[in-house]
Amino acid sequence: MRNRRSRTQVLTLLAAGAWLATTGGLWGADSVAFSGGRAFENLKRLVAFGPRPSGSPALVQSRRWIIQELRKTGARVEEDSFAAATPLGSLRMTNVIAKFPGLRPKVVIVAGHYDTKREEGFRFLGANDGGSSAALLLELGRVLGARKNALTYWLVFFDGEEALQEWSPADSLYGSRHLVQKLASRGDLARIQAMVLVDMIGDANLDIHREDNSTPWLMDTAFSVARRLGYAKYFLDTPIAIDDDHIPFVNAGVAAADLIDLDYGPNRSYWHTDKDTLDHCSPLSLTIVGRVVLETLSEIAKSPHVK
């Protein structure tokens, strides 16, 4: 009896090991859970830097803090600086990339932006728009750094997502356009298996619509994960098409999905206004999206789309 039980236990362990080996986390996968509370603390720190438009001293300070936090996770952290040609002239911008090497060199990117929209008439804090994505990525870094991963993960904090004057293909998405160009010119784009983008996911009234410019299999994966985790009421099938940092990747042939909640405040009245503040964001929303992203990473690692 004792022998049989121990054999069962061994078999269970072997099965669990085999299962984990096919998912994002190899072992230690459950040792560190994603905490929306911690992500929200990150968000408070970011908002305390004040408005953080590209090129501002506050963005430099928030970048230094982001890098300091990322280094604590054991990630290799790189600053990807470039001169952006903007309607206001050439502006130095910097993406931050935290690399978590896995057993396989294939890369999955999880990304968001950390700049906030430049506004003249009011103090735009961008708690949700610019803050929440960076705050969530930092907490994701803590989770990924504490475990062994089957695939290699890059957390990318984009600069210059926002337009400096008016949103257009030439005045927006500076950081993501630059990174895709750089990876392509170095022949590194083929390493990227998928890109999951988060944007404005701190909204206390979370509703993420299926973003229609995204790669269908990847969006299907994220939405079926959300349903499986019991989050169907936050992930709505009515589609919306949005230009965001995933577009340069999609255009370059990389599978990419944008998890975005543009529906911020009644009739979007908090979006790009002085109402984009901490009190309109919640730890629960960060928890929901953090869990969905982590589980989506596990599904990507098992997907036939990843060769």
Q: Is 21 helix (H, G, I), strand (E, B) or coil?
A: helix
DSSP string, 188-244: -GGGEEEEEEEESTTBSS--EEEETTS-HHHHHHHHHHHHHTT-GGGEEEEEE----
- What whole-number distance in Å separates Cα of residue 6 and Cα of residue 103? 30
30 included as an active-site residue: no
Catalytic residue among 129, 139, 159, 161: 161
Amino acid at 51: P
Please name every residue paired with 84 in a beta bridge, in sequence order, or none if there are none. Answer: 91
Binding test (CB under 6 A) with ligand 1BN, winner from 21, 229, 242, 252: 242
Cβ proximity to ligand 1BN, 116 vs 193, nearer residue:
116
Q: Which is nearer to Zn ion, 127 or 226 (CB)?
A: 127
Residues 106-135 vs ligand 1BN: string with x where CB under 6 A?
-----------------------x------
CA 43 to chain centre: 14
Rule CB under 6 A: say whether 159 interacts with ligand 1BN: no
Query: Is residue 243 close enough to count as binding ligand 1BN by CB under 6 A?
Result: yes
Name the minimum Å distance from CB 206 to ligand 1BN: 15
Scan residues 51-90 and list those touching ligand 1BN (CB under 6 A): none
The three-class DSSP label of residue 93 is: strand
Q: How far is the CB of 116 from ligand 1BN (least distance, A)?
A: 9
| Residue 91 C-beta: closest distance to Zn ion, Å | 17
Q: Which lies closer to ligand 1BN via its Cβ, residue 27 or residue 122?
A: 122
Give the one residue of 129, 139, 203, 261 binding Zn ion; rule: CB under 5 A.
129
- Rounded to a whole number of angstroms, the minimum distance from the CB of residue 133 to Zn ion is 10
The three state secondary structure string of 95-117 is EEEEEECCCCCCEEEEEEECCCC
Which listed option, ligand 1BN, Zn ion, none, makes contact with residue 199 (CB within 5 to 8 Å by class)?
ligand 1BN
Per CB under 6 A, does 211 bind ligand 1BN?
no
CB-side exposure of 202: number of CA atoms within 13 Å? Answer: 33
Q: How does 262-297 read in b/e, with b if 16+ C-beta sit within 10 Å? A: bbbbeeeebbbbebbbbebbbbebbbbbbbbbbbbb
Kindly report the number of other CB atoms within 10 A of residue 217's CB atom: 14
Considering the candidates 162, 199, 261, 276, report the single residue annotated as catalytic: 199
Q: Is 199 a catalytic residue?
A: yes
Please list the active-site residues. 161, 199
Q: Which residues bind ligand 1BN (CB under 6 A)?
A: 129, 162, 167, 199-200, 242-244, 262
Q: Which residues bind Zn ion (CB under 5 A)?
A: 117, 129
